[in-house]
Amino acid sequence: MTETPSVLVIGGGSTGCGIVRDLAMRGLDVTLVEKGNLTHGTTGRMHGLLHSGGRYAVSDQPSARECIEENRVLRRIATHCVEMTGGLFVQRPEDDDEYFEEKLQGCRDCGIPAEVLSGEEAREMEPYLAKDVKRAIRVPDGAIDPFRLCVANAADAIDRGARVETHAEVVDVLVEDGEIVGVEVEHGEKDIGIGNGEPGTREKLYADYVVNATGAWAGQIGDMAGVEVAVRPSKGVMTIMNVRQVDTVVNRCRPKGDADIIVPHETTCILGTTDEEVEDPEDYPEEGWEVDLMIDTLSELVPMLSEARTIRSFWGVRPLYEPPGTGTVDPTDITRDFFLLDHGERDDLPGMASIVGGKLTTYRMMAEKISNHVCEKLGVEAECTTADVPLPGSEDFSVLREWMDEFGIRSPVGRRSAQRLGSRTDDVLGGWDGPNPVVCDCEAVTRAEIHDAIDHSGTDLNAVRIRTRSSMGNCQGAFCCHRMANELIHDHDELVVRDSLDELYQERWKGERHALWGEQLSQAMLKHMLHATTMNRDGDPAASDSNVDFAAFDAGETATAAAGTTGDDPDRAATDGGREGENADS
């Protein structure tokens, strides 16, 4: 007779998406709100490493054990989001032998499969490693696509009855009688994103329990509720290369330091990263020296990086947290563990818990623990099954067939699509009616895949981008941004197409600015010429307030001849018959 308990989750990153799926699977009535796109915050701005745990095997063994456990789980339930590249911890001659031994022992202590390779063996695996690399430890690191992972979690939750609202920013936490009872959100002005909120309106969402899974933004939600959540946002830069210089995750085997990892990711490699505390998770300097540091330092491991082409750089903020009184000065020393702050117990304000800290690799385990907590609070008895039930797209990953004949597309394109879509390939490609041309050449994304993404994310082309990788390749959208936008015309008017295009174009530019030299500067100029010169998007009369005096422009030779005979009209510039030396306008 009781109603289904309701839960509201704030934050559409990996943790929030993991929680909403978990609770939906346990039969709760659950809603997720996210102020931007899914993965808009920290999740979408990470280097995509699926940790083996090796990274923490010396400094933080409990985290290392969790990582290897979850690494195995994700390989099982999220096959279409994971590429098992393997990883190396590489020792240069100047790196400490003792630390190398500690790392190896640490891996073994934590149950992480670890094997020592000689320098020669390591170079056999990765030919571009520096010639003087001494030796390496091989571990089961991998690459994971955080976008695909979050989308799969959210999609599964929606299928199980959850409500997911993107572009819905929390503007207030509702407190009644000393208890948190919900939040007020503001839906974005434009009708973009997923969910059914009315654009530009505010909405109060009530729930039996609220989970603040906003990571680096958790302090801001805390402020709205009147509780202190002292997150320490720490920024890190990541630089994206235009090709995969390595096919294995390459880590520097030394205690800690900036610029010590290269993660192969889809068609690219991602160089990371720095660790520097910032005041505001939204507003911090993005500086050129950080990019240079990535290239210069990681060139010590892979020398060709110093001359290689980068396509953009981006920064993310870690939601670091440590319990009050620990007093750690250096953010790299702060634990990567996560903390659940029950505001009832901690601040005498029941109805909400905040989650801070943690990392993507263990997102599911975190979600499980938090969901256990929520169920306990609500008196629900339901088992967690997220470690066993595959995500949508990963149910049956035997779909890598010969796609060329099947769907009338060239086979490399089909293969890439199938890698992204996993077991949904048949539905998406096979369900498409009509021609299915490639829209994004760099990443081999076809029209069917674009429309599938639009169906799930609306007119927000950045959301289409993260689902498909369209516009994320070498050309950074030069050849495909407008093609992606054109696909919206089937269901929307031209103004929507234009706005969506402008937004995507600007977003692509933001990161590309950090890669403007050499080949990529040349590419950026070509992009600028195509969009500004050939299309005239920067001088677009449709976007300008002033009216164009069309009659002052050339209307062709015949029109001019006709107009020329009607006498002098000062408004007509095109009436001089082309006599050289005369200035028609003056």
Partner 1 sequence: MPIREDVLVVGGGLAAATAALAARETGKSVRLVAHKKSTLRQASGLIDVLGYVDGDGPRANPYGAVADLPEDHPYGLVGEAGIREGLRIFDDAVGDAYAGGHTDANALVPTYGGTVKPTARYPESVAPGLASIDEDTLFVGFEGTTDFSAPVVAEHVVAAGVPFAARGVTVPFPKTFRDDARATRFAKALDEDEAADDGGGVRRALADAVAEHLTDEERVGFPAMLGDDRDAEVREELADRLGVSVFEVPTGPPSLLGLKLEDRLFAALDEAGVRLSTGNPAVGYEADGDRIEAVYVDRKGKNVPYHAEQFVLATGGLVGKGIGSDRERVTEPVFDCHVPHSEDRYEWSESEAFGGHAFARFGVVPDEELRPTAASGEPEFSNLRAAGGVVGGADVAREKSASGVSLATGAVAGGRAGEEA
Site for partner 1 in 544-563 (CB under 8 A): 547-557, 559-560
* 111/539 with CB nearer partner 1: 539
Contact between 529 and partner 1 by CB under 8 A: the answer reads yes
CB of 555 to partner 1, least distance (A): 4
Bond preceding residue 201 cis, omega within 30 of 0 = no
Whether the CB-CB separation of 246 and 128 falls below 8 Å is answered with yes
* 333/499 with CB nearer partner 1: 499
Determine the interface stretch with partner 1 among 158-166, 211-219, 350-358, 489-497 (rule: CB under 8 A): 489-497
* 93/570 with CB nearer partner 1: 570
* 230/532 with CB nearer partner 1: 532
Contact between 570 and partner 1 by CB under 8 A: the answer reads no
H-run or E-run covering 263: strand 261-265
The tokens for 202 are: 């505010």
The string of DSSP letters for 180-224 reads EEEEEEEE-SSSBSSS-PPTT-EEEEE-SEEEE--GGGHHHHHHH
Q: How far apart are CA 520 and CA 572, in angstroms?
A: 44
CB of 498 to partner 1, least distance (A): 7
- The residue within the footprint of partner 1, chosen from 230, 243, 400, 525 (CB under 8 A), is 525
- The residue within the footprint of partner 1, chosen from 108, 455, 533, 569 (CB under 8 A), is 533
Q: How far apart are CA 367 and CA 19, in angstroms?
A: 5
The angle at the Cα of 340, spanning 337 to 341, to the nearest 5 degrees, equals 130
Q: How many residues bind partner 1 (CB under 8 A)?
A: 82
Determine the interface stretch with partner 1 among 4-12, 61-69, 312-320, 500-508 (rule: CB under 8 A): 500-508
Contact between 148 and partner 1 by CB under 8 A: the answer reads no
Contact between 569 and partner 1 by CB under 8 A: the answer reads no
Contact between 531 and partner 1 by CB under 8 A: the answer reads yes
H-run or E-run covering 241: strand 232-241
Q: How far apart are CA 434 and CA 502, in angstroms?
A: 28
- The residue within the footprint of partner 1, chosen from 171, 230, 532, 562 (CB under 8 A), is 532
CB of 517 to partner 1, least distance (A): 5
Contact between 231 and partner 1 by CB under 8 A: the answer reads no
Contact between 279 and partner 1 by CB under 8 A: the answer reads no
* 121/569 with CB nearer partner 1: 569
Whether the CB-CB separation of 181 and 351 falls below 8 Å is answered with yes
* 265/508 with CB nearer partner 1: 508
27 backbone φψ class: left, alpha, beta (φ>0; ψ -120 to 50): left
Determine the interface stretch with partner 1 among 32-40, 117-125, 201-209, 474-482 (rule: CB under 8 A): 474-482
Closest CA to 491 of 243, 267, 191: 191
* 210/311 with CB nearer partner 1: 311
Residues 404-423 within binding reach of partner 1 (CB under 8 A): 408-410
* 342/441 with CB nearer partner 1: 441
Determine the interface stretch with partner 1 among 22-30, 357-365, 386-394, 511-519 (rule: CB under 8 A): 511-519
Whether the CB-CB separation of 316 and 45 falls below 8 Å is answered with yes
- 123 three-state secondary structure: helix
Contact between 127 and partner 1 by CB under 8 A: the answer reads no
- The residue within the footprint of partner 1, chosen from 388, 545, 568, 582 (CB under 8 A), is 582
The string of DSSP letters for 21-57 reads HHHHHTT-EEEEE-SSSTTTTTGGGS--EE--SGGGT
Whether the CB-CB separation of 470 and 464 falls below 8 Å is answered with yes
Whether the CB-CB separation of 42 and 215 falls below 8 Å is answered with yes
Contact between 196 and partner 1 by CB under 8 A: the answer reads no
Phi, psi of 478 (to 5 degrees): -55, -45
Contact between 573 and partner 1 by CB under 8 A: the answer reads yes
Strands 179-187 and 6-10: unpaired
Strands 6-10 and 87-91: unpaired
CB of 532 to partner 1, least distance (A): 4
Residue type, 99: Y
Residues 292-351 within binding reach of partner 1 (CB under 8 A): 292, 295
Contact between 580 and partner 1 by CB under 8 A: the answer reads yes
CB of 199 to partner 1, least distance (A): 21
CB of 233 to partner 1, least distance (A): 22
H-run or E-run covering 345: helix 343-347
CB of 286 to partner 1, least distance (A): 9
The tokens for 97 are: 């032998």
- The residue within the footprint of partner 1, chosen from 434, 545, 567, 568 (CB under 8 A), is 434
Whether the CB-CB separation of 275 and 291 falls below 8 Å is answered with no
CB of 246 to partner 1, least distance (A): 21
User: Sheet holding 202-206: strands in order across?
Assistant: 168-176, 179-187, 202-206
* 148/572 with CB nearer partner 1: 572
